[in-house]
Structure 1
Amino acid sequence: MQDFGLEITPRPDLPAIVARWQREITESELQHGYLGILAAGDALGCWRWLLDLRRRDELASPALAAWVNAEFFPRLRHRYAAPVRIAFLISPLRAATGQSASSVAAISATPRPEQDFQTALFTDEATAYRWLAIDP
């Protein structure tokens, strides 16, 4: 599936959904892409997601941060048989230069033990897959 500059690929062998942005996108496209990933997760009953951010610049704004925290993350709670696990894959250069406080990757990597989902940042895809494979 490709929409909003995003390619969503089910990987039943992992099992996970892999979402790769293929181009630069707008904040609206990012929001629609996240909802597309959620729809794919629902259709497949898959709660393990790898989001590959390496081919696009990081989007950062207070409005987007508010949407992720107030609109998107709350939709993940108690949605599947296990807590959602989201691995964010970023480039080593982006990791070395850091993330702004309102970037999606930084917001998503913030530990939230009270929530029913887990997120982590990775620069290596194999390591991200290993983390996704951990049973809850």
Structure 2
Amino acid sequence: MPNFGLEITPRPDLPAIVARWQREITAYELKAGYYAVLDAADGHRCWRWLLDLRRREELATPELDAWLETDFFTLLPNRYAAPVRIAFLVSPLRALQAQSASSVATISSKQDPTQGYHTALFTDEAAAYYWLAQ
């Protein structure tokens, strides 16, 4: 089974699904990776996800942003016992760059309590786990 440059680790002790991209990826691999995270989360009935983006470049394009909003994130509401919480872990430099042009920053800034999921951007892994536990 292809891993799309992604390592997915269930962490029942947290509980969370931790997904770490290990290399640069293509748009196809990004999409496949998100679906692989969803499959792992379904298998563990886990609505807390840490997505570690520190080893890959931003793939922000209008097409990918649209795919996330209209195809992927629409799968999340009411899927689990609680709304999905996605912590995006990025490097401090990328967090500064994300202020201007980043799909992750855009996603995290468009929070709506009725959308059925929550996202946040972090540069500190411990802070991300703390937020996921809320």
Which TM-score band applies after superposition, normalised by the shorter structure?
over 0.9
Contact 2:19–2:51 (Cα < 8 Å) also in 1 = yes
Number of aligned residue pairs: 133
Tell me the SS of whatever aligns to 1:25: coil
State the 1:17 CA deviation.
Answer: 0.4
Identical aligned pairs, as a percentage? Answer: 66
State the 1:100 CA deviation.
Answer: 4.6
State the 1:99 CA deviation.
Answer: 4.5
What pairs up with 1:82-101 in 2 under 5 angstroms? Answer: 82-101=82-101
* CA distance in structure 2 between the aligned counterparts of 1:100 and 1:59, rounded to whole angstroms: 14
Contact 2:98–2:104 (Cα < 8 Å) also in 1 = no
The one-letter code matched in structure 1 to 2:13 is D
Structure 1 residue aligned with 2:39? 39
* CA distance in structure 2 between the aligned counterparts of 1:99 and 1:5, rounded to whole angstroms: 26
* CA distance in structure 2 between the aligned counterparts of 1:52 and 1:26, rounded to whole angstroms: 16
* CA distance in structure 1 between the aligned counterparts of 2:95 and 2:77, rounded to whole angstroms: 28
What root-mean-square deviation, in Å, do the aligned CA atoms of Structure 1 and Structure 2 show? 1.4
State the 1:105 CA deviation.
Answer: 0.9
What pairs up with 1:71-90 in 2 under 5 angstroms? Answer: 71-90=71-90
Structure 1 stretches of at least 4 aligned residues deviating more than 3 Å after TM superposition? none
Structure 2 residue aligned with 1:55? 55
* CA distance in structure 2 between the aligned counterparts of 1:114 and 1:39, rounded to whole angstroms: 23
Tell me the SS of whatever aligns to 1:67: helix
Structure 2 residue aligned with 1:4? 4
Normalized against structure 2, the TM-score is what?
A: 0.94
Structure 1 pair 2–20 and aligned structure 2 pair: CA distance change class (3 A): farther
Structure 1 residue aligned with 2:105? 106
What pairs up with 1:20-35 in 2 under 5 angstroms? Answer: 20-35=20-35
Structure 1 pair 122–66 and aligned structure 2 pair: CA distance change class (3 A): same
* CA distance in structure 1 between the aligned counterparts of 2:69 and 2:121, rounded to whole angstroms: 17
